[in-house]
């Protein structure tokens, strides 16, 4: 079974539903994981998504903030949502691909504010706590064995590698690339022996970005990007990954998100 999965921080699904429709039509993913949908479940644009050919929709929403949704043109079964750190924020949703031993976890890790000091900035402390909670949950759940088939994707809000940011030296003290965040993300990666599908296709010495700030006058020219969006799989799925692409041109679409979609193609048994 061929499976095309995409992830995208859409930064308000109602505001950018036209971009979602365009992406679904042009790139035809089987499953699209959205983050930062910024709406309650009842206000999600179900009709537009169904009309685009994606009738299987699972949403964990929140008014004005956060929120995740997984939409699919193939059957999915809801597999719960976790309230990590007990904050009540809509940041995780899981679904099982019907007929396949594959669980997809769609997550939106907190951004962490501007100051990389949890004593001064509670948002940064929340971010680190959230990653630790994910680490404990995946590690304790025994998802690292070779028979596990889990896929973890979404906006992690952390760019771990040197060339995941436009300037390693200049961003070492900037939230999203600080050593403590990278250390936490690597602990999460080791918790289930996760495989970074994106870096499997783009060597670590090459630049790889999925986000460009709205503050840049010309994001293409400055190219001051960061790789904040990720697709990880457990060891049992590593050999199933066939291709990966970052849809960079979406950053230039009309009224875009500051993130762009990432697509991974898999061949499932």
Superfamily covering domain 2-267: Endonuclease/exonuclease/phosphatase (3.60.10.10)
Domain regions of the chain by residue span: 2-267
pLDDT of residue 194: 95
In this predicted structure, what is the pLDDT of residue 127?
98
How is the beta sheet containing 56-60 ordered, strand by strand?
56-60, 68-72, 31-35, 2-9, 262-267, 241-246
* Cβ–Cβ < 8 Å for 5, 31: yes
Instruction: Please give the structure tokens belonging to residue 124.
Output: 């940064």
| Contact criterion met (CB below 8 Å) for 208 and 226 | no
* pLDDT tens for each residue of the chain, 269 residues long: 999 999 999 999 999 999 999 999 999 999 999 999 999 999 999 999 999 999 999 999 999 999 999 999 999 999 999 999 999 999 999 999 999 889 999 999 999 999 999 999 999 999 999 999 999 999 987 676 667 799 999 999 999 999 999 999 999 999 999 999 999 999 999 999 999 999 999 999 999 999 999 998 899 999 999 999 999 999 999 999 999 999 999 999 999 999 999 999 999 98
Which sign, positive or negative, has the C-alpha torsion 51, 153, 10, 4? negative
Q: For the full predicted model, state whether its pTM sits above 0.95.
A: yes
Between CA 193 and CA 172 the distance in angstroms is 26
Report whether 130 contacts 110 (CB < 8 A). yes
């Amino acid at each position: 079974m061929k499976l095309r999965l995409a992830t995208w921080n859409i930064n308000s699904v109602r505001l950018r539903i036209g971009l979602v429709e365009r992406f679904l039509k042009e790139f035809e993913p089987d499953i699209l994981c959205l983050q930062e949908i910024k709406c309650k479940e009842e206000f999600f644009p179900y009709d537009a998504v169904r009309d685009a050919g994606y009738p299987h929709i699972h949403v964990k929403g929140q008014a004005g903030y956060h929120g995740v949704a997984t939409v699919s043109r193939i059957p999915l079964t809801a597999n719960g949502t976790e309230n990590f750190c007990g904050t009540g924020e809509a940041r995780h949703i899981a679904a099982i691909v019907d007929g396949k031993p594959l669980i997809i976890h769609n997550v939106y890790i907190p951004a962490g504010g501007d100051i990389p000091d949890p004593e001064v900035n509670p948002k940064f402390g929340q971010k680190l706590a959230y990653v630790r909670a994910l680490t404990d949950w995946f590690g304790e759940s025994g998802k690292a064995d070779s028979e596990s088939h889990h896929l973890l994707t979404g906006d992690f809000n952390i760019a771990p590698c040197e060339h995941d940011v436009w300037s390693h030296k200049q961003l070492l003290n900037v939230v999203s690339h600080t050593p403590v965040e990278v250390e936490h993300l690597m602990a999460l990666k080791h918790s289930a022996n996760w495989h970074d599908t994106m870096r499997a296709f783009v060597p670590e010495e090459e630049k790889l970005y999925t986000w460009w700030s709205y503050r840049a006058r010309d994001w293409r020219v400055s190219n001051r990007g960061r790789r904040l969006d990720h697709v990880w799989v457990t060891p049992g799925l590593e050999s199933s990954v066939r291709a990966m692409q970052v849809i960079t041109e979406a950053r230039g679409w009309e009224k875009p998100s500051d993130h762009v979609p990432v697509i991974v193609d898999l061949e499932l048994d």
